[in-house]
Structure 1
Amino acid sequence: MNIMKLEYLKQIKLFMIVILAMQATYSQSLETQIDSILTTVFKEADEPGAVFLVTKDGKPIYRKAFGQANIELDVEMKPENVFQIGSMTKQFTAIAIMMLQEQGKLNVNDAISKYIPDYPNGNNITIHHLLTHTSGIKDYTKMKSIMGIAKKDMSPEELVDFFKNEPVDFKPGEKFDYCNSGYVVLGYIIELVTGKTYEDFIEKSIFEKLGMNNSRYASDKEIVKNRAYGYHNRGEFTNKMQVSLSIPYASGSLMSTVDDMLKWQEAINTNSLITEVSKKKVFTNYTLNKGEHINYGYGWHLKDINGIPTREHGGSIFGFKSMGVYVPSLDIYVIGFSNCDCNSPTKLARDITDLVIENFNNY
């Protein structure tokens, strides 16, 4: 009996060794495959680079930095570097709105005239329209006069006044047209109902609460530890154009790290900031007046990769580009930041997500 038991234990031990060896081989193979995707773009060590993080079930399976965080000082990129994340800011603005709805301070079905009485056509534009890019408000970033204010520090009210009297592009709810102006208005409404600045509300109610200690409202003036510097490529690399960070505001003003963004994704998964009911509203694929789906919820694009639903959003701001893809059914998260607006991580992040889905489905 003891001999049989000993033999059984040996077989179990051998089985575990084989499993561990398979896992190690798999992990190494996946890392090599992800490397091969990223090094097609980020292949020069002396150029601006990127940071990518890939997680499964909330645990990192790939975390790497490429290129330079600062070309002039010859500072290598590292995974801890802080980037401007551009329009990924919209995720935080949308969740902030849902938090305030749960607190009874607003409702997504409210007309914006309730908060900004003099807003043109404000009785027919709702917070929901702003969140879903279906308001018809003209995108101020596409206005020719935008360069006239690009370096000017403006209050949210002044920024809203800059575009509010522009002719609308369509009636509310008729079309989906990605619109930064809508999220500027949302940021202003957040300030009006809380009595706090957008910056203060996001930093105190979200970043501090979640322990996102390396995330903040962007600044080119203040010292930001581990800052990645932004670049353009106009035939040669140049430092990014300087603009006032009051201009992107609630549509694109935040900075973060890939590790903090994992904390953010985990907070969404665990309902740390909003309830499951509110979360379902955030990730509903909304429709236009005629019933056509827009593939957008509140602050996230709702797409798919080979038929598997994803939640995605990217960002682009002078000197930086970002992209995050989450696969709810497999709990896979891919986040990538680039410090040159010449290198978009969007396709790379989607290709990596596709690769990880395939690997885990086959494993």
Structure 2
Amino acid sequence: MPEGHIDKIAEETGFSGVVWIDRDGQIEFAKAYGLANRTYHVPNTVDTRFGIASGSKGFTALAVLSLVRDGALGLDTTARSLLGKDLPLIADDVTIEHLLTHTSGIGDYLDEEVNTDITDYFIGAAHELTTTEAFLPLLDGHPTKFRAGERFAYCNGGFVVLALLAERAGGAGYHDLVRERVLRPAGMTRTDFLRSDELPADAAVGYLPLDGVNRSNIFHLPVLATGDGGIHTTAADISTFWRALFAGDIVDSVEEVVRPRCAVPEESLRYGLGFWLHESTDTVILAGYDAGASFKSTHDPHTGTTRTVLSNTSPGAWPIARALAL
């Protein structure tokens, strides 16, 4: 796609973020638009770090799968075997694989099947959510929606439960597990879990419209991301990630990670283990949408082509992602 066409969409939509396209690590297009911090008029750059919302579910999945590789967990391990008396409404037969494929049927603390607005406040005391264990009160009390394995239903809470199970099986905190088992072997040096109340200078503030003005998302998201999304990263690190994943640097069984487990016809997609998949090709997808964040990245393992759009607004990434056919 010509640069001028992307520029035109960016101008017409007020896009704030980064667009990046490369083939086997060779950059074909990389450009930043808009402001990382509107108060101080700090521009985005191609090196700016963005929150990617549910895009980091793939990192949670890989941390869990690395524990499976090491024998600390199995895909058939039940959640109950590690939860003990916690979260009693989760059925006894729900397994790691059910949670990874959104087929667990558990009730969701952030249910995307319910009609809600992105500007709504869901999580209460955001400043208290600094650990995975701190999510237990939010995860509790949601009745089962269907029997485990019955069907696909996207479940944010399921990936927080996965983070909790990984901690209990892996003997370390979720953030450290992802750093040691995913980010470090992938070579993702600019990716990390950043507190929203002390973002570094190279990170974009997330914005959303509230009461007729654009405000930061600090009260809408957990102050520190956990298993269902919110890590901060750069376009270059995402490209690095895809190459490392398919080189086998993170887990050995990449084919199992990206093997289709569920059809998701309402999205014209399929789903593997923590990753979206194109409905008819081998292209693998990470995507995220939340208050003050939107993100989509696709990777074609045959051509090595990565296309990534990151934005620090909720709707920002989608017009350009559609134009790039992401």
Match of residue 170, structure 1, among 132, 143, 146: 146
Larger radius of gyration: 1
Residue 139 of structure 1 deviates from its aligned partner by: 1.7
Mapped partners of 1:327, 1:286: distance in 2: 19
Check the 8 A contact 1:84/1:317 in 2, yes or no: no
2:5 is the alignment partner of 1:36: yes
2:301 is the alignment partner of 1:332: no
2:318 is the alignment partner of 1:341: no
Match of residue 227, structure 1, among 203, 216, 219: 203
Residue 41 of structure 1 deviates from its aligned partner by: 3.5
Question: Aligned pair in 2 of structure 1 residues 246, 127: CA closer, same or farther (>3 Å)?
Answer: farther
Mapped partners of 2:240, 2:84: distance in 1: 37
Residue 76 of structure 1 deviates from its aligned partner by: 1.6
Mapped partners of 1:247, 1:211: distance in 2: 22
Question: Aligned pair in 2 of structure 1 residues 179, 42: CA closer, same or farther (>3 Å)?
Answer: farther
Query: In structure 1, what is the equivalent of residue 261 of structure 2?
Result: 286
- Give 2:99's aligned amino acid: L
User: SS of the counterpart of 1:309?
Assistant: coil
2:176 is the alignment partner of 1:200: yes
Residue 353 of structure 1 deviates from its aligned partner by: 4.6
Mapped partners of 1:267, 1:328: distance in 2: 11
Check the 8 A contact 1:285/1:294 in 2, yes or no: no
2:236 is the alignment partner of 1:259: yes
User: SS of the counterpart of 1:249?
Assistant: coil
Residue 340 of structure 1 deviates from its aligned partner by: 1.2
Query: Which protein, 1 or 2, shows the higher relative CO under an 8 Å CA cutoff with sep ≥ 6?
Result: 2
Question: Aligned pair in 2 of structure 1 residues 211, 308: CA closer, same or farther (>3 Å)?
Answer: closer
Check the 8 A contact 1:286/1:294 in 2, yes or no: no
Mapped partners of 1:190, 1:246: distance in 2: 21
- Give 1:331's aligned amino acid: G
Match of residue 86, structure 1, among 48, 53, 65: 53
Question: Aligned pair in 2 of structure 1 residues 114, 231: CA closer, same or farther (>3 Å)?
Answer: same
Mapped partners of 1:101, 1:87: distance in 2: 22
Q: Which runs of 5+ in 1 are unaligned?
A: 1-29, 355-363
Question: Aligned pair in 2 of structure 1 residues 34, 311: CA closer, same or farther (>3 Å)?
Answer: farther
Q: Which runs of 5+ in 2 are unaligned?
A: none
Question: Aligned pair in 2 of structure 1 residues 284, 229: CA closer, same or farther (>3 Å)?
Answer: same
Check the 8 A contact 1:82/1:214 in 2, yes or no: yes
User: SS of the counterpart of 2:83?
Assistant: coil
- 1:187-225 CA distances to partner (integer Å, 9 max, x unpaired)? 001111122111111123322333322110121233524
**How many residues are aligned here?**
312
Mapped partners of 2:144, 2:285: distance in 1: 27
Check the 8 A contact 2:297/2:308 in 1, yes or no: yes
Residue 310 of structure 1 deviates from its aligned partner by: 1.9
Mapped partners of 1:244, 1:309: distance in 2: 33
Identity, in percent, stands at: 25
Check the 8 A contact 2:197/2:218 in 1, yes or no: no
1:1-363 alignment, distance < 5 Å: 30=1, 33-43=2-12, 49-118=16-85, 119-142=88-111, 146-153=122-129, 155-234=131-210, 235-243=212-220, 245=222, 248-275=225-252, 278-287=253-262, 295-304=270-279, 307-343=280-316, 345-346=317-318, 348-353=320-325
Residue 256 of structure 1 deviates from its aligned partner by: 0.4
Residue 121 of structure 1 deviates from its aligned partner by: 4.3
Check the 8 A contact 1:246/1:253 in 2, yes or no: no
User: SS of the counterpart of 1:315?
Assistant: strand
- Going by fraction, where is helix more abundant, 1 or 2? 1
Residue 347 of structure 1 deviates from its aligned partner by: 5.0
Q: Provide TM-score, normalisation by structure 2.
A: 0.87
Higher mean C-alpha deviation, range 33-42 or range 324-333: 33-42
Check the 8 A contact 1:233/1:342 in 2, yes or no: no
Check the 8 A contact 2:123/2:222 in 1, yes or no: no
**RMSD of aligned Cα (Å):** 2.5
Residue 248 of structure 1 deviates from its aligned partner by: 4.7
Question: Aligned pair in 2 of structure 1 residues 128, 38: CA closer, same or farther (>3 Å)?
Answer: farther
Mapped partners of 2:228, 2:7: distance in 1: 28
Check the 8 A contact 1:109/1:126 in 2, yes or no: yes
Residue 133 of structure 1 deviates from its aligned partner by: 0.5
User: SS of the counterpart of 2:197?
Assistant: coil
Check the 8 A contact 1:332/1:353 in 2, yes or no: no
